[in-house]
Amino acid sequence: MMIDVGRMMLEILPEIGLLILIGVVLVLDLFWRKSRKKLGWVSFAGLLLIFVLTLVFVQPARLPQLTWGGMISLDMTGYIFRMIFIAGAALTVLYAIANDSLAGRGEFYLLLLTSTLGMCFMASAADLIMLFLAIETTTVPLFVLAGFLTRDQKSVESGIKYLLFAAMTSAVMLYGFTWLYGFSGTTQLYQIAERLKYGFVPQAAVVAAMMLVLVGFGFKISAVPFHFWAPDVYDGAPYPVAGFLSTASKAAGFAVLARALFVIFPLQTETWTLIVALLSTASMFVGNLLALAQKNIKRLLAYSSIAQAGYILIGVAADSPLGTSGVIYYLSAYLLTNLAAFGIVALVGRAVGSDEISAYAGLSRRSPALALAMLVVMLSLGGIPPFAGFIGKLLVFAAAIERGLIWLAILGVINTIVALFYYLTVLKVIYLYRSEEEDKPLAVSSAAGTALVICIVGIIALGVVIAPLYGWSTDAAATLLFLPR
């Protein structure tokens, strides 16, 4: 059998690019002792280059194919999620440049890029071994990133909490993986599905293994009841890391969740759609009701992100092409929105020295631009047109109704209304409340400004020009439900 190394390399071009970039950052960190701040711009330029190269050279096959010995599935889903992760990492790098305690630390960018590399593999892994390795490559750097500010005990504590939760849930998930291996004798996702179909394994046993696996994925997407880590970790971790955790890491979790459920468990569809629908309901209610009581903006965003995971799960529960494309659209919109939210919170938090919502009083007078950006972000999170969040919600609710899950769509709409209350409360503080310091302008560095402009333009663009991304997501959804050869 001839192996075309060049073609195989091209297929994982983004991952190879990230690996080279990691090496470059590592070496430059050693030699640029005086000007480490430039490392951030090197990482950003590298990520941008990888993004463009991937767009130009890597064309996903119409029909999914397995490469690298069945380890990786080359399809539209993997492709689109890679783009999401790389974009998320690039924006996070910009926020890190604007953050004085992170900007001069080469290892920050190194760990961030390594984590992104893991996510890229997560999105296209087609083998249990590859999947596990990719998940670990993603999470182990994230532990360090969450606990990055060793002088700040809140950061260290959030690192420990994240590690303990992540390690426990990933051990439970692995135990589920071993049972899947035991039932089928293979670690290849597509072969597992085939052998489970013709094997003599009782359904109850397969469902039990599926529950174990869902624990690990539920943690990654911070769905209730695996959400306890999220508020504490977002609160303690450095701002850019909290943003990255709540967006790219969550998107990676959804990528593997969807692939695992669609590919390995097509026969248990009735069971898992019910489980996912219940997880979704619980996440929406718990996230939104607890968010109502929050006084701290980081914790409010954490509970809101739990609730958002609930809305996205509606798309998964629908188990249809429309639902899956809704999930992808929602995740892209959510990535831009929440990264912008954490960017603004970082700027205000460092200027005011507090993350309390009351500290946002008078922001509209201190910095009209930031206040306006927050308005866009909060309305997009709340699902108001013409912003991206609205289209995401529309697609997942439509998918639920199309598949007869009308109760789930109704619960989703009720929760959207509840959520609007606390999003609008933040806006009320920003626009209507006065503060004594409102004549002091708020400085926005060029890096953070660039990132915010990209995010806000993206939010409005995704909310107005729907067709391109929707077309991509539909293609991705179609390939996810296809069996590769």
Q: What is the contact surface with other proteins in residues (CB under 8 A)?
A: 128-129, 132-133, 136, 140, 143-144, 147, 150, 153-154, 156-161, 163-164, 167-168, 171-172, 174-175, 177-179, 181-182, 185-187, 231-232, 235-236, 294-296, 299
Residue 62 or 154: the one with the smaller Cβ distance to other proteins is 154
In the complex with other proteins, which residue's Cβ is closer, 139 or 473? 139
453's CB contacts (< 8 A; 6+ apart) are none
Eight-class DSSP state of 125? B
Name the minimum Å distance from CB 175 to other proteins. Answer: 5
What is the Cα gyration radius of the chain?
21
Nearer to other proteins by C-beta: 69 or 441?
A: 69
Shorter beta-carbon distance to other proteins: residue 161 or 250: 161
3-state secondary structure of 411: helix
Return the number of the residue (163 or 346) whose C-beta is nearest other proteins: 163
For 155, what's the count of Cα atoms within 13 Å in the CB-facing half-sphere?
18
Query: Whose Cβ is closer to other proteins: residue 61's or residue 174's?
Result: 174
In whole angstroms, what is the distance from residue 318 CA to residue 289 CA?
24
Q: Measure the CA–CA gap between 189 and 78, rounded to whole angstroms.
A: 15
Question: Minimum Å distance from CB 41 to other proteins?
Answer: 28
The answer to whether 54 touches 453, Cβ cutoff 8 Å, is: no
Residue 296 three-state SS: strand
Token pair in block for residue 106 = 């080469």
Contact 75, 64 (CB under 8 A): yes
d(CA 223, CA 279): 7
DSSP symbol at 483: P
Quote the CA–CA distance of 243 and 271 in Å, as a whole number.
33
In angstroms, give the least distance from the CB of 72 to other proteins: 15
Nearer to other proteins, 84 or 241 (CB): 241
Q: Considering the complex, what minimum distance in angstroms separates the CB of residue 360 from other proteins?
A: 18
Residue with tokens 């889903």: 77
Q: How far is the CB of 237 from other proteins (least distance, A)?
A: 10
Contact (CB, 8 A) for 248 and 335: yes
Could you tell me the smallest distance in angstroms from the CB atom of residue 183 to other proteins?
Answer: 9
337-362 CB burial, b ≥16 within 10 A, e <16: bbbbbbbbbbbbbbbbeebebebbbb
How far is 110 from 462, CA to CA, in rounded Å? 30
Distance of closest approach, residue 4 Cβ to other proteins, in angstroms: 24
In the complex with other proteins, the residue whose CB is nearer, 160 or 481, is 160
Supply the DSSP symbol for 362: T
Min dist CB 197 to other proteins, Å, is 18
